[in-house]
Structure formats: C-alpha cells, structure tokens
Amino acid sequence: MKLGQWLGFLCLAIALVILWQIRQMLLLVFTAVVLATALNSVVQRFQRAGMRRVAAVALTLGLLFLVNILFIVLIVPPFLDQFLRLVELLPSAFAEALEWVEDLINQQPTWLPELELPTPSNLTRELQPLFRNLIENFFAFFSNSLTAVLQFLLVIVLTIMFLADPTSYRQALLQLFPSFYRRRADEILVKCEVSLGNWLAGILINSLFIAALSGVGLWILQIQLVLAHALLAGLLNFIPNIGPTLSVIFPLTIALLDAPWKAIAVIVLYLVIQQIESYWLTPTVMAQQVSLLPAATLVAQIFFASFFGFLGLLLALPLTVVAKTWVEEVLIKDILDPWDKQPQWRPVGATESLATLPLVERVEKKSRSPGEVALDATSENAAEEGAAALKDSPAIAPDHAEPHTPPPSA
C-alpha cells in the first residue's frame, strides 16, 4: 500500500473511533431527525394549503404544544395515580402468583409422571440477579435526572432547528458524498423520509388501536387500573416483539389478586388483540409502511440494544428502516443489480474513466442534461469511427507484416 492509502485507512479508523465515542449523542440527533420528519409532514400539508414555511412551522409547533398540555392535564394525573397503585400491588400480586404456581405443581394428576420441576422460590432465587440487572439497565437511562432533562431539551432544540430549515441541513449532509453521487444520495434521503413518515403513522395508529382495545377488554373483565394498563400497552407497542410481551405482565399479575380465571382471560384477551393487530390492522393500515421481517426486527433490536443501550432498543425500528432503505438503494440497486452489465473489454482508443463502473455511469447519466448526453454519445461514436479508420489505413502497417524492401535500382 502506498503512503496515501495508509493515511486514508488511518483517518478512517480514527473517524470510526470518534463516532463510537459519541454514539449516544448521535442517537439523540437521530431522535431529533425522526421527530422533525414527523412534524415536517404536517408542515408540508399546511404549505400545500397556501401558508408560508415560517407560519406553517409556528402553527405546527403550537398545535403540538396544545396537544401536550391537554395530555398532561387530562391523562397524566390519573395515569400516575393508577401507576403508583400498580407498583404497590405488584409485590402482593407476584406472591399470589407464586402460591398459585406452587399449588398447581403440588396437585399434579396421578397419571402424570413425577417431574422434578424447580419450585417457584428456587426459580425466583435463580432469576433474581437477571431481573436485578434488567431493572438496573432499564433505569440507568433515567438515573441522572439532570442528564435526562438536558438530553430531552437537546432533542427538542435540535428538532425545532431541523424543522425550521431542513434544506440547509440536507445540503450540508450531501456535501459528505462525492460530487457524482450527490443527486442520487438526495433521492435516497427522500425515500428515507417517506419510509420514516409511513412507519411513524402506522405505529401511532397501531398503538392507539391496541391501547383502546386493551382498555375495553380489561374494563369488561373488571380488572383494576384499566387506564394504566391500556396506556402501557400502547406505549410498549413502540418496541416490537418485546413490548407486547411486557405489557401483558402488569394486568396478569393484578388479575391474579381477584381470581385465577381472570388471569387466563387476560392472556386470551391479549393474544386475540395481537392476532387482530398482526393479521388485519397491520396489512390494512401499514400498506405503505416499510415491511420488515420479524427475525430481522428481533436481531436489529438485540444488536442496537447491545451496542447503544436502552435508547438503542427504543430506536431500533427506525434505525432499521433507514438502514434497510440505504442497503436496498445503494448496495442492491446501484452495485449488485447492474453488476453483470459492467463491460469486460473496451476497444483500443476508447477513453477509460470512472464512468466504466455501473454505479458511477448510471448516476452520471442521470445527473447530466440531455444535451450533454447527446454530445458525449457523438464524441464516443466519432472516436470509434476514427479508431476503425486508423486501423484500416494502409499507411500504417500491422505489427505482424513483413518489412517492406525497396525495389532494386536500375
């Protein structure tokens, strides 16, 4: 490797180390981008109605502030009251669940062979370190109240900045790409924005549906603290695979305080809700949403949670949506799909350049005007005709021809 290549590799390694050190900051910036993308769709609707950008942004932020105030005044106080009662009831409900499981184990049918099952007390003792670590990691993000407040304020400020002038920030990001690929990168950014908007709209509708259906079902079953359970079910729906499983734990433990059959009814209720959401609501409402395979979603959650912590788990799905868009557009469409179209040979005299690569050739053709494309085609045809005429000219002998001997003199 040459010195320049070594320097480039060293700079790349240093940049990766710096990005890893500021990964939490980058996640906060990405959170602001997601929020700005959601609000920008509302701003664009106001702009299409004839409003100026500044007025549309101000109106959007005002409506958002009003909705938050109504939510804090009407929903938060009863939710906090029920949530605190839920926290107080959880220990007794958990003890009731352990006693119920012990009775179930002790009352095994005679025809069932003897199984050495761990008792609930031993199982609790073995799982206690795991639950302790999980709770510590869950609350580590909120351990420092000052840091949490500052991070929240940073996200809000960045969201307003991105929303006020998104074009300038987009142009600044495009400067990081090579000049021949900037137009194509801008197209990919537009697709990322559409994908994020579709995902946000779909997940909001899904969460509202699950919260409403859970609340109605728990109210019919006469389960205590319906509002807290319903809101937790809707909020935890933002975390696929893991969230719905966690949301059933709280009403299940509370239902055991009343009767075991209510616990079974709660499990059946949540299974029915998940089936309706998976097989009817998601295909209907999220028809334009980016489709993600369940296994890929789970792997992405584990990956981002391992490297970025609790915030990475919350942002795993939007990060996966953006990553999927870039992989499809850059790796698959721009590199792998035209791979077999790459020319293997060019005639002698033809100009060799970066345009011989499929990715660059396609991007450059898109970025040039029709006049420039026609001029380049004319130049290529002229070069090929000149090379053919030069090859057929008798003035230049081929390399394999015998040397010409002059005739003998008289």
Helices (H), 75-119: 76-106
Kindly indicate the confidence band of residue 274, based on its pLDDT and cuts at 50, 70 and 90.
confident
Q: Is the pLDDT of residue 139 over 60?
A: no
Kindly indicate the confidence band of residue 66, based on its pLDDT and cuts at 50, 70 and 90.
very high
Query: Which residues have a Cβ under 8 Å from the Cβ of 26 and sit 6 or more positions away?
Result: 19
Q: What is the mean pLDDT of the chain?
A: 75
Phi, psi (5° rounding) for residue 178?
-60, 155
CA dihedral 71, 72, 75, 76 (to 10 degrees): 150
Mean pLDDT value of segment 303-318: 82
> Whole-model pTM?
0.65
Q: Which of 47-61, 101-115, 239-253, 273-287 has the highest mean pLDDT?
A: 47-61
Q: Which of 277-286, 357-366, 398-407 has the highest mean pLDDT?
A: 277-286
Q: Is the pLDDT of residue 364 over 50?
A: no
Give the per-residue pLDDT at 335.
Answer: 86
Locate the domains of the chain by residue range. Answer: 13-103+143-333, 345-383
pLDDT over 70, % of the chain: 68
Query: Which residues have a Cβ under 8 Å from the Cβ of 42 and sit 6 or more positions away?
Result: 60, 63
Kindly indicate the confidence band of residue 339, based on its pLDDT and cuts at 50, 70 and 90.
confident
Query: CA-CA distance, 233 to 214, in Å (whole number)?
Result: 7
Q: Which two tokens stand for residue 409?
A: 């003199």
Q: Is the pLDDT of residue 151 over 70?
A: yes
Answer with the residue of higher pLDDT: 113 or 269.
269
